[in-house]
Structure 1
């Protein structure tokens, strides 16, 4: 960070040089000038980030100098110093886009504060510009993988303009980096830009040789992709050992479970087909095993796990109502076959379909509405697409079996609703919740709420409040019972809460309601 101070008084310049701790502010070089002409020469020869300039100077004054700086380098932040609190000066400074305006004599800490704010703005602008450039570059690179020739051509032109000499006959090799905590969740502990930096650092350290360049982007599966390219045969010097060193370096830097998939070397015009072969490897790693995989040498296991005997067993367990046993048995089957490598994307999809069939057939026989079992947190689409990897499948199976086991207990929904109503009436003096009622009738709160609304025409929370209000009205008609006792009798330890609840339903406070009834 470089600063230029301009003032025609040497005593002022010397005072600032000794009174302001520039090094503590992160300023590496401080230049000084006693007139505008010398200041301009310094600016032309050096990159100046902050200009600190007096206004009243002989010859060309500080305002004229600032106008010139504004035209020469608008990014330079300018702080004006003046011994006259003139509105005219302040107005001209604002028009010139100056960062700050300080009345002299000012204590050094005030000048330091202004410089700290200026430095903070410069750093913020730099970060935003870096992030924008990285995001822009990522969007450009990802289009190189497009099957649309126009998109690819446009990206090549954009990269050439950014200084990357890539063309359709450049040699390329891609590394797909699957960082599981990143691709599996919505919240991340590291920013995309931070990961970009680490990946490029590892590529520079382990992969790059003269003539070989690296680009990075994020694909639609939230996986990072490093694209190596060269316009000579230098790309062929990247050995298997170098790839392994690169992979180990990423794992060490990131500290996460990672898989890296390496494509064959080809030309950019064939990038779509080359990358597709690697994506097949990615998709078939349904167990999400960490490791380094090469599309040219790693083979997909297409030997599916045997299902017929297990399907018969699971159907029998379902029919006998042994839901916990069938759940444990299915998860054990999945874990075992995943461990010995019996699952790929196709076999996992087939397994999901077979299992879904027996679960849905069982539900149909028991008059269970499958769609009513799903919630906002886990919906029908989540379950039907859960075959993509082992963890998603186990989550889906656990959810659907638990939901079916709960729903299968309801062979007469009206009886269960009546049991719930009886429970509410018997516990009217308690602070009961929807979960309390759902637990009493052995349903999940989500399923019970849907069932109650379907049968009663209102949601269970409103029903509980309505019953409490009706009971409160009966008690309030007896003038001998204090209002706070009425609240306590209905399970409200907070009198204000009781009053708010009552007024929301009756448009009157409990006290107002009592007065109205007594004078009726």
Structure 2
């Protein structure tokens, strides 16, 4: 933003230029003039945003200059300086639409405050104008891709009215920009206007040419498209470095979680074919790896992904209710093929179809209503459309595996718990673990523990210990069985460990328990003093 200061006194000019901190308030260049004629030449040759002019000057005065500026450069904000508090001056400045009127001598901080308010007004008006125009132009540009020739022609005519000399035979090249935090979120991570402005500024910086025009629009997938057009061969002069610089500039301004896809060069008449090539490129980047991509290079390499043999293994894991292991195995498979760059949209779609088949077949055999698995937060359509990229597919897989796992806790699950209880009782004399019991009912330890707790309200490990204690108490009530034999009968070869376990649960030792029981039954017995 530039300012022009006009005063016939050199000392005043030097005082203002040195006394006001222009850099702090957003002024890049400060021009000075000592008369109206010199001021007009500067305005005609430079992009002046603010005019700060004295009124009383020899020859043409500041009011004359202000009138000329209003007629020829109405966007310039005018601030008048005068050393006379004349009502006629104030009245004329109002009529000319001047921004403010400063009475000299004024402290530099007051002059600075007025200029700062002028800068703020300019920035606000520009942002509002840019946002309004971008919203309109963005929709017009989007219609250039329309199937309907009349819509396309109407867009060309409208853009011509806006000052863009685009024609049916204009040369074009486009870049699709997928900003992941924006396209993946339903929340306003960035404002549309901020991205529009950033894209236009970055395009102007990277594809620097007065005859290449950038246009920006937002497509229905929440991806931005920068359309470059010209009516010469200037696009042929753009090299890969220009596009790499464009990508790096966007990363600096918008963050590194984005990808850019450059189309081939073509003509506006064939814009749909031109943009389609980049859409294919984008679609095949199913891992959503950030980068600058070109249509003459593949994002991913097609190849065999050994889906059939993996499907067989995953089906077995599903049938064995090894849900956590199943999810980890599938994710490991996806991560591997992402790392070797072997996934594209086609094989990811096939992968999704095969997984969906085994999930639905399993649900049918388990009498699970597949539609009841879905929720308002994640519905059937969300899952069926999750094949477009790896991140979405992982979310869908995780959801449906967990939903099936929860739905699988039915009567069959209760039978598994009952069989587990019977196994524990039958092996009470053995040192059995949670894994031993889970293996017996063909479930993963993690899933079995969750299932057992859900059905019984008790932790598996605690249940095993409680059953051992109950069995030990039954045996201790027989005074003819030594305590050491009782320990062995409930799976403890180490007598000390048995005593500690029993006391932890009953707050008394096995021998003390036997004494109390015998006393309550009025039974006399000989105590074996060597056992504790």
Choose from 202, 210, 221 the match for 1:198: 202
Deviations 1:39-58 (A, max 9, x none): 88987787654344677999
Q: 1:350 to 1:41 in 2, by over 3 A?
A: closer
Question: Highest CA radius of gyration, 1 or 2?
Answer: 2
Q: 1:383 to 1:237 in 2, by over 3 A?
A: same
Equivalent residues of 2:20, 2:109 under 8 A apart? no
Q: Give the secondary-structure state (helix, strand or coil) at the position aligned to 1:197.
A: helix
| C-alpha displacement of 1:196 | 3.5
Choose from 232, 235, 245 the match for 1:249: 245
| Distance (whole Å) between structure 2 residues aligned to residue 217 and residue 389 of structure 1 | 23
**Where do 1:25-424 residues align within 5 Å?**
26=27, 28-32=30-34, 49-52=49-52, 70-80=70-80, 97-102=97-102, 106-130=106-130, 132=132, 137-162=137-162, 164-180=164-180, 183-185=183-185, 187-188=189-190, 191-204=195-208, 215-231=215-231, 235=235, 242-243=239-240, 245-253=241-249, 254=251, 256=256, 259-289=259-289, 294-295=294-295, 298=298, 305-340=305-340, 342-363=342-363, 365-367=366-368, 370-371=371-372, 373-376=374-377, 378-409=378-409
| Distance (whole Å) between structure 2 residues aligned to residue 344 and residue 11 of structure 1 | 70
Equivalent residues of 2:200, 2:214 under 8 A apart? no
Aligned to 2:529: none
Equivalent residues of 2:16, 2:108 under 8 A apart? no
Aligned to 1:475: none
| C-alpha displacement of 1:324 | 0.4
Equivalent residues of 1:373, 1:404 under 8 A apart? no
| C-alpha displacement of 1:28 | 0.6
Greater Cα shift, 194-203 or 251-260: 251-260
Q: Give the secondary-structure state (helix, strand or coil) at the position aligned to 2:207.
A: helix
| Distance (whole Å) between structure 2 residues aligned to residue 71 and residue 260 of structure 1 | 45
Equivalent residues of 1:366, 1:408 under 8 A apart? no
| C-alpha displacement of 1:393 | 0.3
Aligned to 2:506: none
| Distance (whole Å) between structure 2 residues aligned to residue 19 and residue 262 of structure 1 | 48
Equivalent residues of 2:7, 2:57 under 8 A apart? no
Segments of 5+ residues of structure 2 without an aligned counterpart are 413-451, 456-532
Aligned to 1:21: 20
Segments of 5+ residues of structure 1 without an aligned counterpart are 413-439, 444-520
| C-alpha displacement of 1:388 | 0.5
| C-alpha displacement of 1:162 | 5.0
Q: 1:46 to 1:4 in 2, by over 3 A?
A: farther
Equivalent residues of 1:138, 1:218 under 8 A apart? yes
Equivalent residues of 1:50, 1:76 under 8 A apart? yes
| C-alpha displacement of 1:126 | 3.7
**Where do 1:465-476 residues align within 5 Å?**
none
Q: 1:314 to 1:18 in 2, by over 3 A?
A: closer
Equivalent residues of 1:5, 1:13 under 8 A apart? no
| C-alpha displacement of 1:181 | 5.0
Deviations 1:85-128 (A, max 9, x none): 89998787666544234456543322221122112322343444
Deviations 1:315-348 (A, max 9, x none): 3323332210111122123233444555432332
Q: 1:236 to 1:67 in 2, by over 3 A?
A: closer
Equivalent residues of 2:373, 2:400 under 8 A apart? no
Q: 1:2 to 1:265 in 2, by over 3 A?
A: closer
Equivalent residues of 1:214, 1:229 under 8 A apart? yes
| Distance (whole Å) between structure 1 residues aligned to residue 351 and residue 362 of structure 2 | 17
Greater Cα shift, 314-323 or 153-162: 153-162
| Distance (whole Å) between structure 1 residues aligned to residue 345 and residue 120 of structure 2 | 50
Equivalent residues of 2:386, 2:393 under 8 A apart? yes
Q: 1:401 to 1:166 in 2, by over 3 A?
A: same
Q: Give the secondary-structure state (helix, strand or coil) at the position aligned to 1:75.
A: coil
Q: 1:129 to 1:212 in 2, by over 3 A?
A: closer
Task: Let me know the Cα RMSD of the aligned residues.
Answer: 4.8
